Amino acid sequence: MAIAINEGIIDVMHLVRESRLPEKPCDIDLRFFRAISLADTYDGLGVPWEGVEYSAILYGNTVVYQSATWRQGAAGKHPQSFGGNSELYRRMFDVSRTYLKILTISKAKYHGEKPPEGDDWWDIVFLPKEKETRRLLTKHPQYRHLVEIFGITLDKVDKIRYRVSCSKSLKTNTG
């Protein structure tokens, strides 16, 4: 079941309703991941601080991964996962976040948008668990489609950060 780029949320929802979630990384549509995080208390900056923090990753409207963490402020955290979690979908959530960030940067560069003033890092992506995430990303048909459209390259900045470069632009494609 290869992904057609023009498929949409309705197609994903049909798979979810029929309990037929894709099992191969290249068949998972990177556009339909969402995350929810709830906590008892926050530190004023939107970061969970003390008590229980619940996190869930959704694909379409199905929870594919969830966890709870007991936080004791500066004393640390104690994670607990739930049965039935999909490690594949947790990894693909990381790939999805990276893909969507690359898509946003590529579109901005393609259309010649100016970066935010004073922000030298606006076109940087982080690749968590670098090798695995990068391998899954570069083999995915949606990413390959972006590479074809925008001429994307990921130039290594340091161990986990890459600058997104685009060899194509609206000016070069319209003459």
Distance CA 22, CA 150 (A): 27
The last residue of one of the domains, among 59, 87, 115, is 87
Three-state DSSP state, 105: helix
113 and 162, same domain (yes or no): yes
* DSSP 3-state percent helix, strand, coil across the chain (nearest 5): 35, 30, 35
Predicted pLDDT at 89: 92
User: Above 90 in pLDDT, residue 21?
Assistant: no
Span 139-164, mean pLDDT? 93
What are the beta bridge partners of residue 156? Answer: 162
Number of structural domains found in the chain: 2
Between 114 and 104, the higher pLDDT residue: 104
The last residue of one of the domains, among 40, 61, 87, is 87
Return the minimum-mean-pLDDT range out of 36-50, 101-115, 129-143.
36-50
161 within domain boundaries: yes
The number of angstroms, rounded, from the C-alpha of 107 to the middle of its chain's C-alpha atoms is: 16
Q: How large is the C-alpha radius of gyration of the chain?
A: 18
pTM of the predicted structure, to 2 decimals: 0.80
The last residue of one of the domains, among 87, 104, 129, is 87
Give yes or no for a contact between 133 and 96, defined as CB atoms under 8 angstroms apart: no
